[in-house]
């Protein structure tokens, strides 16, 4: 008789034949830096996540720096928003100042800068708006300026999340012509229009004032289109690609990992985090076990790197496990 159970008999054997592991070095932790002073605001829909002003951020930055995770994804929240998202590409904007500070104080910490206009526009859309429409080509120069400004401030990786067509090529060209030839682009290539982002929009104060993002983010019914988006971003010069959200899109992660050979990132987004936190606060699930299972699932599907709000907790749990 075939006895599969031989290799499940005890933890030593299970560990020996385990196919998938989470390494702290696979994890990226998103942080929210808000313009102002002495601010540490809990994000209600994301227990354990805070908006920090830069003067209070050392608390979390030190923890990140000592945790052994790969790095951070930074989102800045400006005081003033306008139709042109001017603080997005202001060299003294909240995000630029934060990056400069972080790279100075924690030089070995990898900083990925999200590039999108929605935190900076008064209307909350990811691009330039005219007559109720989100304009594609008019948005590209603003994204390019923003990318250059963030890279000059010290960002190690530029991550466009806006979903305008042609933005990877436009940003690559802008970086190159500013001498920033070695700054990689991590493209949010397959980014779906998802209800799983709503807690993030509280955290980043970036909910659209009218309408939704369906004219630029992808229809969640479309798996093949996601592969076309990824292929196109690679052709435009992306160095890494992303699928977002993660758990409801593991088919896309799997297919992308088999079809493309550059580093694949999955973003375990705010709503995925919020559901786990809410159920575990109620005592209905075991947070540690659920998070471990979810993260392993994302890696098993083929993601190389995971962006997750669980990253700091996970790093601690991994330390405990291997102690
Ligand atoms: C900005 C951006 C969003 C997220 C990352 N970058 C929100 C959105 O597109 O509305 C979502 C992240 C999350 O939910 O954790 N374009
Ligand atoms: Zn956006």
DSSP per-residue string spanning 161-217:
-S--TTHHHHHHHHHHHTT-TT--BEEEEEEB--GGGHHHHHHTT---SSS-STTTS
Q: 60 φ, ψ to 5°?
A: -80, -35
* pLDDT, average across residues 263-278: 98
Q: 234 φ, ψ to 5°?
A: -65, -45
Atom of ligand 1 nearest to the CA of 207: 10
CATH of the domain at 171: 3.20.20.70
Residue closest via CA to ligand 1's atom 8 equals 197
Q: Which of 161, 214, 244, 246 to mutate to test the pocket of ligand 1 (most atoms within 8 A of CB)?
A: 161
Asked, for residue 291, whether it belongs to a domain, the answer is yes
Asked, for residue 86, whether it belongs to a domain, the answer is yes
Asked, for residue 135, whether it belongs to a domain, the answer is yes
What's the chain's average pLDDT? 97
Answer yes or no: are the C-beta atoms of 95 and 150 closer than 8 Å: yes
Q: How far, in Å, CA of 221 to CA of 245, rounded? A: 13
Is the full-model pTM beyond 0.85? yes
pLDDT band at 21; cut points 50, 70, 90? very high
pLDDT the model gives residue 320: 87
pLDDT tens for 145-204 read 999 999 999 999 999 999 999 999 999 999 999 999 999 999 999 999 999 999 999 899
Pull the structure tokens for residue 186: 């991590």
Ligand 1 mean position, distance from CA 279 (Å): 22
Asked, for residue 198, whether it belongs to a domain, the answer is yes
Range of the domain at 99: 20-320
The yes-or-no verdict on residue 321 having pLDDT over 90 is no
Q: Confirm whether 191 is a catalytic residue.
A: yes
Residue closest via CA to ligand 1's atom 11 equals 197
Ligand 1 binding residues, C-beta < 6 A: 114, 116, 118, 126, 161, 197, 200-201, 213, 269-270
Asked, for residue 14, whether it belongs to a domain, the answer is no
């Amino acid at each position: 008789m075939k006895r599969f159970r031989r290799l499940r008999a005890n933890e030593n054997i299970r560990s020996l034949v385990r196919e998938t592991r989470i390494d702290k070095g696979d994890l990226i932790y998103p942080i929210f830096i808000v313009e102002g002073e002495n601010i540490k605001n809990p994000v209600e829909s994301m227990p354990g996540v805070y908006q920090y002003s830069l003067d209070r951020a050392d608390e979390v930055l030190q923890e990140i720096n000592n945790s052994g995770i790969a790095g951070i994804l930074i989102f800045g929240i400006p005081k003033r928003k306008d139709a042109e998202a001017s603080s997005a590409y202001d060299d003294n904007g909240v995000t630029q100042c934060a990056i400069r500070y972080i790279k100075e104080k924690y030089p070995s910490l990898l900083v990925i800068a999200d590039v999108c206009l929605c935190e900076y526009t008064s209307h909350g859309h990811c691009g330039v708006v005219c007559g109720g429409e989100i304009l594609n080509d008019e948005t590209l120069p603003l994204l390019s300026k923003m990318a250059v400004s963030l890279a000059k401030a010290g960002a190690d990786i530029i991550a466009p999340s806006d979903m305008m067509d042609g933005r990877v090529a436009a940003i690559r060209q802008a970086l190159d012509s500013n001498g920033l030839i070695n700054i990689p682009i991590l493209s949010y290539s397959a980014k779906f229009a998802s209800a799983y982002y709503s807690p993030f929009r509280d955290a980043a104060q970036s909910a659209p004032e009218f309408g939704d993002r369906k004219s630029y983010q992808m229809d969640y019914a479309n798996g093949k289109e996601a592969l076309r988006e990824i292929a196109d971003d690679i052709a435009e010069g992306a160095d890494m690609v992303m699928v977002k959200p993660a758990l409801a899109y593991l088919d896309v992660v799997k297919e992308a990992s088999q079809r493309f050979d550059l580093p694949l990132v999955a973003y375990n987004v705010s709503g995925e985090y919020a559901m786990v936190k809410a159920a575990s606060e109620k005592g209905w699930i075991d947070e540690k076990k659920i998070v471990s299972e979810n993260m392993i699932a994302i890696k098993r599907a083929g993601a190389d790197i995971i962006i997750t709000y669980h990253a700091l907790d996970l790093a601690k749990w991994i330390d405990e496990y291997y102690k």
